[in-house]
């Protein structure tokens, strides 16, 4: 048997924490001296303590920890739960990192206020194009929502086209439409000459009679820079935008987003 102090030292926790676990029934001492009230623990209780600490450190509440350890899960079952929780935490970390990157990009925009030349904007006609596409719903037009929907769509699209023996003949295009309840329908498309595939829609991407366009170089997290340059050009030249921008991928580097090149195409009209 170990005193509470010794058990805490071997388990690398505090005695105060053990007293709290005792108070809430999460980890009771093996023996409590009736005369002195001293708590004593057995070596077998390290098994429960290890589970408690692992689950708590992965973000489970003490109530959830209580339920899990009382279920007497095997080490294999517990490892499966821990892996799932680990994946959730890694996803949260990735989202937090993306938010920080977005804030950095927004701060750079603020620093460039008043210094946004529009010389790179080109007004052009975009011809109709035969495309193969897949689409899905995003919760919003926010990049944090769009990215996780759009990227898998392109992967699935190229995989299905390859299985059907259809070869793309142009640059990938992403475009967007309003859907129900303020959600966004995201389209991942690529031009094709011919062919059909049962699980891919073959359709025509309509022409844009007039589109304000700009070539964006770099990570799409920096897209606001180019989009706001387009907005300034549209306003300065007396046009009005019509819907969301199309995003044409001109260069893609899986390893380094800084090498990406996209063309943004916003349909515009000039009021009479």
pLDDT along the chain (272 residues), means of 10: 89 91 92 88 90 85 89 80 83 80 69 66 94 95 86 93 90 94 94 81 94 90 84 92 93 86 94 76
pTM beyond cutoff 0.75: no
pLDDT of residue 91: 84
pLDDT of residue 114: 60
pLDDT of residue 117: 66
pLDDT of residue 128: 95
Strands annotated E in 83-172: 122-126, 129-138
Q: How far is CA 23 from the centre of its chain?
A: 40
Residue 82 DSSP symbol: H
Short-list 78, 44, 72, 77, CA closest to 58: 78
């Amino acid at each position: 048997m170990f005193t509470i102090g010794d058990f805490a030292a071997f388990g690398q926790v505090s005695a105060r924490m053990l007293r709290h676990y005792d108070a809430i029934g999460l980890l009771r001492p093996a023996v409590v001296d009736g005369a002195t009230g001293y708590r004593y623990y057995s070596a077998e209780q390290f098994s429960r303590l290890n589970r408690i600490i692992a689950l708590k450190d992965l973000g489970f509440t003490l109530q959830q920890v209580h339920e899990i350890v009382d279920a007497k899960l095997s080490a294999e079952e517990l490892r499966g739960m821990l892996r799932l929780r680990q994946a959730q935490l890694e996803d949260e970390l990735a989202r937090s990192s993306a938010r920080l990157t977005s804030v950095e990009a927004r701060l750079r925009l603020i620093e460039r206020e008043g210094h946004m030349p529009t010389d790179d904007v080109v007004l052009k006609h975009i011809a109709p194009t035969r495309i193969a596409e897949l689409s899905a719903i995003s919760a919003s037009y926010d990049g944090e929502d769009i990215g996780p929907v759009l990227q898998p769509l392109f992967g699935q699209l190229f995989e299905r086209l390859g299985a059907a023996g259809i070869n793309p003949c142009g640059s990938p295009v992403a475009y967007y439409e309003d859907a129900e309840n303020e959600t966004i329908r995201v389209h991942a498309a690529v031009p094709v000459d011919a062919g059909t595939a049962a699980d891919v829609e073959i359709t025509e991407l309509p022409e844009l009679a007039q589109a304000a366009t700009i070539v964006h170089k770099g990570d799409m997290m920096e897209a606001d820079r180019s989009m706001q340059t387009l907005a300034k050009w549209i306003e300065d030249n007396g046009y009005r935008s019509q819907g969301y921008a199309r995003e044409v991928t001109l260069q893609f580097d899986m390893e380094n987003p800084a090498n990406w090149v996209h063309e943004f195409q916003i349909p515009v009209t000039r009021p009479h």
